[in-house]
Amino acid sequence: MESVARDMDYHAARAALEWQMELGADEPIGDLPVNRYEAVAEVPKPSAAPAPVAEVAEVDPVEVARQAAASASGLESLAAIQSAYEHCEIRKGARNFVFADGNPEARVMILGEAPGRDEDLEGRPFVGRAGQLLDRMFAAIGLARTAHHAGEALYITNVMPWRPPQNRDPEPDEIAMMLPFVTRHVEFVNPDIIVLMGNTPCAAALGKRGILRLRGHWSEAFGRPAMPMTHPAYLLRNPAAKREAWADLLEIKARLKGTA
């Protein structure tokens, strides 16, 4: 090998060296030969163990709502507990918590969808144009939110106590969070009849949507007779539907008379 190296000129020797380096020979020159099969591989030193990551328990908003609602001792307590519920993002954009209005001794409980702009500003359900129409509708069968006698009174609340952004429909998970509070609300009021005003109450209480198909047919919600009705806001946009709403009101009046 040494004789071969002596016979090579500088350029040939350099080319041979570069060729060996391209083949992976990173030690082309050494004092002694090395048997790589006998070489002991260097064991890397273990690095410091990473600090354990604390596990964050996953929160079930519905279960939190269920436990919170169960702890309520009455309507005032329920309102305070529900208003403090932090897992519904809608509350962050609302001005007011809208709980209920009317006589809690009423035989008829109206369950609406969610506050609108006027309700959000005033902090009471059904106070805008739709609410004024609702008052006139039920006054036609002798019921009012301002009545003191239970047989003539209305009690009004919504599935959602906060106004959704841009009055959008509540999402299914948002409805699910509020359902334990609504259930407890019904238990405290203990009405004879529940009126489900619109799609969101039907979704919450019946697990169904399609108010134009459901309206006018008695069902059961929270263990009580329930009448789905089109929302007054829909009647303002579709005056021809008031005839059907009147038929639903007469059904409610007849049912009240039959269960007096």
In whole numbers, what is the pLDDT of the chain averaged over residues?
89
Question: Residue 90: pLDDT above 70?
Answer: yes
> Tokens in use for 166?
């841009």
Is residue 240 in a domain? yes
Is residue 252 in a domain? yes
Is residue 18 in a domain? no
pLDDT-based confidence at residue 19 (cuts at 50, 70, 90): low
Question: Residue 104: pLDDT above 60?
Answer: yes
Amino acid of residue 193 = I
Taking residues 211-236, report their average pLDDT: 97
Taking residues 177-186, report their average pLDDT: 98
The 3-class secondary structure across the chain, one letter per residue, is CHHHHHHCCHHHHHHHHHHHHHCCCCCCCCCCCCCCCCCCCCCCCCCCCCCCCCCCCCCCHHHHHHHHHHCCCCHHHHHHHHHCCCCCHHHHHCCCCCCEEECCCCCEEEEECCCCHHHHHHCCCCCCHHHHHHHHHHHCCCCECCCCCHHHEEEEEECCCCCCHHHCCCCHHHHHHHHHHHHHHHHHHCCCEEEEECHHHHHHHHCCCCHHHHCCCCEEECCEEEEEECCHHHHHHCHHHHHHHHHHHHHHHHHHHHCC
Is residue 56 in a domain? no
Question: Residue 23: pLDDT above 90?
Answer: no
Is residue 205 in a domain? yes
Taking residues 219-235, report their average pLDDT: 97
Beta strands 224-229 and 100-102, pairing class: unpaired
Taking residues 103-109, report their average pLDDT: 98
Question: Residue 54: pLDDT above 90?
Answer: no
The residue with greater pLDDT, 205 or 40, is 205
Least confident residue range of 8-22, 143-157, 167-181, 223-237? 8-22
CATH of residue 128's domain is: 3.40.470.10
Give the pLDDT confidence score for residue 9 in this predicted structure: 74
| Residue showing tokens 């709980």 | 99
The residue with greater pLDDT, 42 or 116, is 116
Question: Residue 159: pLDDT above 80?
Answer: yes
User: Which residue range is the domain that position 156 belongs to?
Assistant: 61-258
CB 79 within 8 A of CB 164: no
From CA 53, how far away is CA 105, in angstroms rounded?
Answer: 53
Is residue 70 in a domain? yes
Is residue 35 in a domain? no
Give the pLDDT confidence score for residue 258 in this predicted structure: 82
Question: Residue 47: pLDDT above 70?
Answer: no
Cα angle vertex 183, ends 189, 190, to 5°?
20
Is residue 186 in a domain? yes
Q: Which of 153, 157, 164 is nearest to 183 (CA)?
A: 157
| Residue showing tokens 């109450």 | 201
The residue with greater pLDDT, 43 or 241, is 241
Domain count, the chain: 1
Taking residues 106-121, report their average pLDDT: 97
Question: Residue 20: pLDDT above 80?
Answer: no
